[in-house]
Amino acid sequence: MELIACMEGRKSCRAFLAKEVKKEVLGSLLKAANRSPSYMNTQPWEVFAVCGEAKKALATKLYAQASSGAPPVPDYPFPATWPEAMDRRSKEHRLRRFKAVGVDPEDKEAVRAGYLRNFVFFDAPCALFIGLDRSLTPWSVFDLGSFVHALLLAAEAQGLAGVPQALVMAYPEIIRKELGTPENIALFLGISLGYPDRDARANQYRSARRELDEFVHWYGPWS
């Protein structure tokens, strides 16, 4: 698929077909994403991929912890506040997405049920966890974002889809214990990945974007 089409067509997927993602296929996506740029070619990303019964066991434990109301203890702190414009976009996005999937934002039980779906990876056939060595600086976090974006575009090009997840990283100690990930690796992000159910209501929503002149600051004699 042509690159620009992938970039414009990609969106977060929250409903998946019951179709296995072969290791060979996932490997090809990760190999492509591994060409992402990084500071001094450090390639700092670490990927932990899980599927099948191991994924189900992990999901069961994460779901139970989230359902219990246990406070999140992420390796990388969730943002407490946003600048005003970002806060407004976030809230507008939340309300539009609830409307698209038929959830009343005042219905606390329905909102909570949607929140908990994160912890079972939206029933995707596989889940990835992306991490960095704890000693690394924000420069490497930038590299991590580059890698994740490349991976999501590679998935789109091959007919798969994913959703980056912060919420699922609320309980990294459970992930470490279940998967045996090294203690020196901070777990930053989860990705649920699989073949999208394009007819599912959850996948009909498309988030809004700012107009070009809202975020680009032009200097010079542009014609």
The domain tally of the chain equals: 1
Rounded (5°) CA angle 89-91-95: 115
Q: Is-contact 188 138, C-beta < 8 A?
A: no
Report CA Rg, the chain. 18
Q: Which residue has the tokens 């470490």?
A: 176
Domain assignment present for residue 41? The answer is: yes
Q: Is residue 68 part of a domain?
A: yes
DSSP state of 156: H
> What is the residue range of 61's domain?
3-205
CATH of the domain at 108: 3.40.109.10
Residue 15 within a domain: yes
Q: What is the pLDDT of residue 159?
A: 97
Give yes or no for a contact between 140 and 44, defined as CB atoms under 8 angstroms apart: yes
pLDDT score of 7: 95
Confidence of residue 45 (pLDDT cuts 50, 70, 90): very high
Q: What is the mean pLDDT of residues 135-153?
A: 97
**Residue 210 maps to a domain:** no
37 occurs within a structural domain:
yes
Kindly state whether residue 40 falls inside one of the protein's structural domains: yes
| Rounded average pLDDT over 189-202 | 97
In this prediction, residues 146-174 reach a mean pLDDT of 97
- Asked if residues 129 and 48 have their Cβ atoms less than 8 Å apart, the reply is yes
Dist CA 191 CA 163 (whole Å):
5
The pLDDT value given to residue 1: 57
In-domain check, residue 220: no
Mean pLDDT on 11-19: 97
| Mean pLDDT of the 75-84 span | 96
The reply to whether 74 falls in a domain is yes
Mean pLDDT of 204-219: 96
